[in-house]
Structure 1
Amino acid sequence: HMPFSCTTMRNQFSRIFLYSFFTIGIVSTVVGNFLVVLSIAYFKQLQSPTNCFVMSLAVADCFVGLVVMPYSMIRTVEGCWYFGSLFCKLHSSLDVMLCTASIFHLSCIAFDRFYAVCNPLIYSLKMSQSRVALLITICWAVPMLISFGPIMLDLHIAGVDILIPEDLCVFLVSRIYAVMASLVAFYLPMAIMLVAYWKIFKAAKRQALQISAMESQMAAGVGKDSSKKRRHRITMRRERKAAKTLGIIMGVFLIFWMPFFTLNIVDPFIGYTTEVVVWDIFLWLGYINSSLNPFLYGFFNRSFRRAFLIVQSLHCALCKLILYISHRSCLS
């Protein structure tokens, strides 16, 4: 169903509730991703090839929270677009570019982890600084090409004869653009992630079985080498945790982005009859992925957690110092 004019249907209570809910999501997206960027930039021990991808991912997700989500929030709650048709194109371009860049980074992290776990001997060779820089450049350049070019030149709506009023910002796409952009932005990175994580899972399982066999052999002995047994048990537990983490990462990615990109392909073939509320729900599910990425890629890591605690304690100390100085100046 395509509305022909802008109408604000929501009552005051639902508007306040939605604004509060979305604002919490925006703040957590910006703060969480900024913490990741700050931690990697500040702490030398976090500056690894993998964390270069994590840092670039956090920059993309932080921009999603800063420049895309606030305007999408107003559009979703009010049902209207107050910022003109040119800014609508710019907003749509930034939306497509930053969300695609975020997804590309996720597939690069999966690719990097695959080499680290499955081919550790050639990892440093394959993931040199120049190669990491090249992959990060691709993660930003390709999304820019599939977003700004087609959208600003109206190529994404070639052959679509639906007139959109000035006070609406609806992202309509032609069948060709819907299929091509969804394949590049989601389905191809998803395939890379699925293959990489499946291979990592199999490698982790194989290692766990080997460790288990070694433990059985040791147990058959006279109970010596207990420290070795304990080390192997810790390794096995770590492998199990890593496999579980991979499952969570992949599951979250699919749950939050699959509905939007499936609908994105289907909608042009069913005459653009999808209700706006369905689009909004699926789009905000995708945005939520940007707010969860710092937790999945940062907070699961012990070094990151330690860095976050240090950053928070420094922030608290700074706040106390500012309060103390302001209190002293008030007294004087």
Structure 2
Amino acid sequence: VLGKPSQPPNASWPRSQNGSSAEADPAANLTFSSYYQHSSPVAAMFIVAYVLIFLLCMVGNALVCFTVLKNRHMRTVTNVFILNLAVSDLLVGIFCMPITLVDNLITGWPFDNTTCKMSGLVQGMSVSASVFTLVAIAMERFRCIVHPFREKLTVQQALVTIVVIWALALLIMCPSAVTLTVTRDEHHFMVDAHNRTYPLYSCWEAWPAQGMRRVYTTVLFSHIYLAPLALIVVMYACIARKLFKASGPARAGEEATTEGGRASRRRARVVHMLVMVALFFTLSWLPLWALLLLVDYGQLSEPQLHLVTVYAFPLAHWLAFFNSSANPVIYGYFNENFRRGFQAAFRAQLCPLQWGSHKEAYSERPSGLLRRRALTDVHRSDSGLPSESGPSSGARRPGRLPLRNGRVAHHGLTPERPGCSPMPLTTPAWDL
């Protein structure tokens, strides 16, 4: 549904504007197309580009899942939603990227009817679940920051919300799954380099009328792109206004060093990361939606439709799929806890973290300051260390933890093992 023209791609060229076959002698209306849509250099470029984002998607999102599931202190409400985003991106990488690449290289549809339905359904559901999850994240941040005294969402409630999100995604994509089908064009054949001919099959949405496809595309665009992202913009604007007001009255640097100022900056960093995820999603999927609306409403000629199908759609699909690969990069860039989790994932086999012990590990601060043992207040944070989402995250309650050399110990972690590279077991006290 998110990439097929309203008529069978490639098989529509010998048909008239109303989609009916010509009534003349069938032999005089046969159409022959090259088996491959692109030359070897162009095809190689597409293959390399798709393989790169596929590997990045698999590795990056697998690391996100590993980091959130492995570390109990990472199981916050926001991170549970981020985990759901990673799962939907993995589904796109597994079920959609390889199939879409092959479909963009070969003139016809080389797979069966089940693959046609599954590919369209999984891609549509993943996109729907992603945008609905972005809305849920924005709403959760909105409640925590704009209305801090309201009851916080728990992890269990977040899991129920995720189930509802996937149910809505399945519901809205059911019409596409029903109408997607594989058909053969009796008057169109593919010819390979050895001059052998093959029948042409196409995977497309067989709507009873052209207008129904147009209405469905408009409904999808408004419900899983335009309206959700407009809601996200409004909520993040309110959050930014609230944070700006909270940091505004600071005087002579004194207020900025208070716990309230530090909490406000932590929230601002998390919101900055989430805004970047939503913005990148918006820009990545905009070209593909523009092409879908252009095909349905633009009344393109057959050469124009051929050009859009062969060149524009593969590029738009690549950009949309790139969004699924870039999210882990955004998390790692903006969030120190995800960076530490990604680093720990690569060392997990050699230096596994063991939770539940009561030893403490500290690291030295090179400057040599704060040599004396001290205590520092630790409060729940928004993005990984003790969560503000509730006690279900498994984190300790706010309290006082021992401070050595300017660093706060993480309780429940084993110290560095012999032969293992140092693990980030401490958090700088000045970063809390």
Q: TM-score range by the shorter chain?
A: 0.7 to 0.9
Contact (CA 8 Å) 2:60, 2:328: kept in 1 or not? yes
Q: What amino acid sits opposite 1:49 in the alignment? A: V
Q: Does 1:215 pair with 2:238?
A: no
Higher helix fraction (1 or 2): 1
Output the CA distance in 1 between the equivalents of 2:34 and 2:220.
Answer: 28
With a CA cutoff of 8 Å and minimum separation of 6, indicate the structure with the bigger relative contact order.
Answer: 1
Q: What amino acid sits opposite 1:50 in the alignment? A: T
Residue aligning to 2:145:
117
Q: What amino acid sits opposite 2:215 in the alignment? A: I
Contact (CA 8 Å) 1:49, 1:132: kept in 2 or not? yes
Within the candidate set 154, 164, 176, 1:151 is matched to 176
Q: Does 1:278 pair with 2:312?
A: yes
Find runs of 4+ consecutive structure 1 residues off by over 4 angstroms: 163-166, 170-173, 228-244, 315-318
1:315 Cα offset (Å): 4.5
Query: Could you give the per-residue CA deviations for residues 80-107 of structure 1, whole angstroms, max 9, x where no partner exists?
Result: 3211233212211111111221221122
Within the candidate set 169, 175, 198, 2:214 is matched to 175
1:293 Cα offset (Å): 1.6
Within the candidate set 141, 155, 179, 2:167 is matched to 141
Query: Could you give the per-residue CA deviations for residues 127-174 of structure 1, whole angstroms, max 9, x where no partner exists?
Result: 134431232112211111122x21232189xxxxxx998533356871
Residue aligning to 1:201:
240
Q: What amino acid sits opposite 1:99 in the alignment? A: V
Contact (CA 8 Å) 1:29, 1:290: kept in 2 or not? yes
Q: Whose radius of gyration is greater, 1 or 2? A: 2
List gaps (5 residues or longer) in structure 1.
Answer: 157-162, 219-227, 319-332
Q: Does 1:262 pair with 2:290?
A: yes
Within the candidate set 45, 55, 59, 2:83 is matched to 55
Contact (CA 8 Å) 2:108, 2:200: kept in 1 or not? no
Aligned identity (percent) is 23
Within the candidate set 323, 326, 329, 1:292 is matched to 326
Output the CA distance in 2 between the equivalents of 1:63 and 1:316.
Answer: 29
Alpha-carbon distance change, 21 to 41 in structure 1, aligned in 2, over 3 angstroms: same
Residue aligning to 1:105:
133
Output the CA distance in 2 between the equivalents of 1:315 and 1:264.
Answer: 46
Contact (CA 8 Å) 1:81, 1:167: kept in 2 or not? yes
Residue aligning to 1:9:
37
List gaps (5 residues or longer) in structure 2.
Answer: 12-32, 182-186, 189-198, 208-212, 353-432
Residue aligning to 1:185:
224
Q: Which moved more, 1:240-249 or 1:201-210?
A: 240-249
TM-score, scaled relative to structure 2:
0.62
Contact (CA 8 Å) 2:176, 2:205: kept in 1 or not? no
Aligned length: 297
Contact (CA 8 Å) 1:204, 1:243: kept in 2 or not? no
1:36 Cα offset (Å): 0.6
CA RMSD of aligned residues (A): 2.9
1:180 Cα offset (Å): 1.0
Query: Could you give the per-residue CA deviations for residues 106-133 of structure 1, whole angstroms, max 9, x where no partner exists?
Result: 2211111111221222142xx1344312
Higher strand fraction (1 or 2): 2
Contact (CA 8 Å) 1:40, 1:55: kept in 2 or not? yes
Residue aligning to 1:35:
63
Q: Which moved more, 1:102-111 or 1:8-17?
A: 8-17
